[in-house]
Structure 1
Amino acid sequence: MSVVVRTAAEGAATWAMGSLFEHLVSGEESGGALGVSVVTQPPGLAAPLHVHTHEAEAFYLLEGTMSYRAAEETYALSAGSFIYLPAGIPHSFQITGDVPVKFLGLCVPGGLMKLYDEVGIPATEHRLPGTDGQSMEVEIPRWNEVAPRYGLKVL
């Protein structure tokens, strides 16, 4: 392992779920300890109720708003909000408002970000995908195939 330093828009990026995942440090670069990405997601995007059996996740919102369900509680998150989710906690979210949300996404241990790389495609630019991204018709079967290997279960 070595020190990892990245400036804005310098690292590899992936388009998945109609979103941009800008990798700051990968599990490989951190010896498996940590994965960190800056994630940008469009208004209205929602994730179904799911659980990660291998990783804890944390999010720090930089811009935008989202509704986040964790276990039986629902939280309204906005810029400056932080949420930590231990492994095994069922959760879902929806991007609210009229602007994209941007957040710092962390996972411990660091393997989860590889899931987005495997399901998505390399981003050609550090922006939300347009017609150059994958359609959900192409991506959803990939999620169903790949997610179980990463301990992700849709409930």
Structure 2
Amino acid sequence: MTADEIVLGPLPAGITLAGEGNRIWNVLGHTYALKAASDTSFAFETLDPPGTGVPPHVHTTQDEHIYVLEGVFTLYLDGQWEKAGPGDTVRMPKGLPHAYYNRSDANSRALFWVSPAGRLAQLFDRLHDLTDPAEVVRLSALHDVDFLPPGAVEGA
């Protein structure tokens, strides 16, 4: 473990101010900012430029949620394509294949959280500034996030 690796435990009291995160990750063109981390949950804000997305994948041990702050996401959920905009909350139970994309011409921002926290923070540490999609898929599988094979979902 490195000195700046996130160590989970009980949720500390406090405020993460707007525009702040105590850890920032660049993951394949997305900017993720840590908002809160504990044993039971992990929350991060995303900035998703036009044309970015996360292909179909499954969290094997975590429920995931998205609260859209700005922009529109095109989402694959439970075998269907949906759209979510500002104020919408997206629920993705563990084991459900899902994906999200910003297919608009403007940035999207959202608050994401998973429960339990699992190893997502450690995964983001490993993915930071990584540019090889195959290595992203490999590392994700080691952290309980399994990507579906290319072409497994039509329109992805």
TM-score, structure 2 normalization: 0.80
> Do 2:137 and 2:146's aligned partners in 1 also have CA atoms closer than 8 Å?
no
Runs of 5+ consecutive residues of structure 2 not aligned to the other structure: 1-9, 149-156
Which residue number in structure 2 is paired with residue 120 of structure 1?
128
The sequence identity of aligned pairs, in percent, is 21
Matched, 1:57 2:64: yes
2-side partners of 1:94 and 1:110: how far apart?
A: 23
Tell me which residue corresponds to 1:129. Answer: none
Q: CA deviation at 1:68?
A: 0.5
CA distance in 2 between partners of 1:61 and 1:114 (Å)? 24
Residues 48-78 of structure 1: per-residue CA shift (max 9 Å, x gap): 2111101110000000011101121221111
Match of 1:13 in 2: 24
4+ aligned runs moved over 3 Å, structure 1 = none
Q: How many residues were matched structurally? A: 136
d(CA) in 1 for partners of 2:73, 2:109: 10
Partner of 1:152: 145
Q: Cα gap change, 1:49/1:70 in structure 2, threshold over 3 Å: closer, same or farther? A: same
Give 3-state SS (helix, strand or coil) of 1:116's partner. helix
The answer to whether the aligner puts 1:140 opposite 2:133 as a matched pair is yes
Q: Residue 7 of structure 2 corresponds to which residue in structure 1?
A: none
Amino acid at match of 2:16: R
Q: Scaled by the length of structure 1, what TM-score is found?
A: 0.81
Structure 2 Cα separation of the partners of residues 89 and 10 of structure 1 = 28
CA deviation profile, 1:92-112 (whole Å, cap 9, x unmatched): 121121111100001001132
| Residues in 2 aligned to 1:50 and 1:75: alpha-carbon distance in whole angstroms | 16
Conserved in 2, the CA contact under 8 Å of 1:63 and 1:79?
yes
Query: Is 2:102 aligned against 1:95?
Result: yes
Cα pair 1:57 1:107 within 8 Å, conserved: yes
Deviation at 1:7, TM superposition (A): 1.2
Report the Cα distance in structure 2 between the residues aligned to 1:144 and 1:96, rounded to whole angstroms.
Answer: 22
CA–CA distance in 2 between the matches of 1:41 and 1:139?
Answer: 18
Shift of 1:37: 0.6
Helix, strand or coil at the partner of 2:81: strand
Q: Which moved more, 1:94-103 or 1:139-148?
A: 139-148
Question: What is the deviation of 1:10?
Answer: 4.4
Structure-2 residue corresponding to 1:106: 113
Inter-CA distance 5–150: structure 2 relative to 1 (3 Å threshold): same
Residue matched to 1:75: 82
SS of corresponding position for 1:96: coil
